[in-house]
């Protein structure tokens, strides 16, 4: 499995700096008004604004427990809510409703099938000149952002990059093998070594 830290997949830093909190997680006056119009409790208000700011920064909704306390505390203070306000939902339906209004506000679509197709196409094209899984994942991320799609889980992109990379490599090795006329044995080992060397030279 590829280490997420080696890719551009968005995640929270281990240490949240004050500047990052201020720049990326401070809700504007318009955002605060927008959120208040769509919520009926302090908990829901806090949860909606946290979801909005996290998605703006990451292109995805963090899993439960993934959002650092520093982010929640910062948003709570900006909204002037009491310390007892927490990121909790009255029901899963409310949580999904919040995600839907965030996507609408940001002009982003949740379409897992389309996202997989775009990522698949981008990875296949890149895998012909690159052989490093983090590079393939980064190419997929770039295309997904350009398409205004919600990012899939990292594990999904990692599995796709690993599988497609193996398929492309097998095809390249087979093509070289057939062109050089080496059916196996020592000749095939030379072909395999040559193919790896060639891909590394191309930036893989």
Domain boundary, last residue among 87, 106, 125? 106
Distances in Å between the alpha carbon of 44 and those of 1, 35, 59, 183?
A: 36, 9, 21, 66
Instruction: Give yes or no: residues 9 and 94 share one domain.
Output: yes
Q: Which residue, among 164, 193, 159, 162, has the nearest Cα to 176 in the 3D structure?
A: 193
Would you say residue 19 has pLDDT above 50? yes
Would you say residue 191 has pLDDT above 70? no
* pLDDT tens, residue by residue, 60-109: 999 888 999 999 999 999 999 999 999 999 899 999 999 999 999 999 99
Instruction: Give yes or no: residues 130 and 78 share one domain.
Output: no
Domain boundary, last residue among 106, 127, 145? 106
Instruction: Give yes or no: residues 52 and 22 share one domain.
Output: yes
The confidence score (pLDDT) of residue 131 equals: 85
- Return the structure tokens found at 199: 């891909």
Domain of residue 24, residue span: 4-106
Domain boundary, last residue among 106, 126, 151? 106
Q: Across the strands, what pairs with 149?
A: 109
pLDDT bin (cut points 50, 70, 90) of residue 200 is low
Instruction: Give yes or no: residues 64 and 78 share one domain.
Output: yes
Q: Across the strands, what pairs with 77?
A: none
Rg of the Cα atoms in the chain: 22
Q: Across the strands, what pairs with 109?
A: 149
Max Cα–Cα distance, the chain, nearest Å: 75
* pLDDT tens, residue by residue, 32-59: 999 999 999 999 999 999 999 999 999 9
Would you say residue 186 has pLDDT above 60? no
Would you say residue 5 has pLDDT above 90? yes
Instruction: Give yes or no: residues 9 and 93 share one domain.
Output: yes
Instruction: Give yes or no: residues 73 and 152 share one domain.
Output: no
Domains in the chain: how many in total?
2
- Is the whole model's pTM more than 0.95, yes or no? no
Would you say residue 193 has pLDDT above 90? no
Instruction: Give yes or no: residues 122 and 100 share one domain.
Output: no
């Amino acid at each position: 499995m590829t280490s997420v830290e080696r890719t551009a997949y968005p995640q929270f830093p281990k240490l949240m700096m004050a500047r990052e909190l201020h720049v990326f997680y401070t809700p504007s006056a318009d955002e605060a008004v927008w959120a208040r119009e769509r919520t009926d409790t302090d908990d829901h208000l806090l949860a909606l604004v946290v979801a909005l700011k996290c998605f703006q920064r990451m292109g995805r909704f963090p899993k439960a427990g993934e959002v650092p306390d520093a982010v929640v505390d910062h948003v709570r203070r900006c909204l002037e809510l009491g310390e007892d306000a927490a990121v909790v939902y009255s029901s899963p339906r409310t949580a999904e409703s919040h995600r839907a209004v965030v996507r609408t506000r940001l002009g982003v679509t949740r379409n897992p099938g389309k996202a997989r197709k775009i990522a698949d196409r981008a990875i296949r094209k890149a895998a012909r000149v690159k052989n490093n899984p983090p590079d393939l994942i980064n190419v997929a991320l770039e295309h997904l952002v350009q398409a205004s799609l919600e990012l899939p889980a990292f594990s999904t992109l990692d599995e796709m990059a690993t599988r497609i990379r193996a398929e492309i490599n097998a095809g390249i090795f087979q093509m070289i093998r057939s062109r050089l006329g080496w059916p196996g044995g020592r000749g095939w080992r030379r072909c395999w070594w040559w193919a790896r060397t060639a891909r590394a030279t191309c930036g893989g």
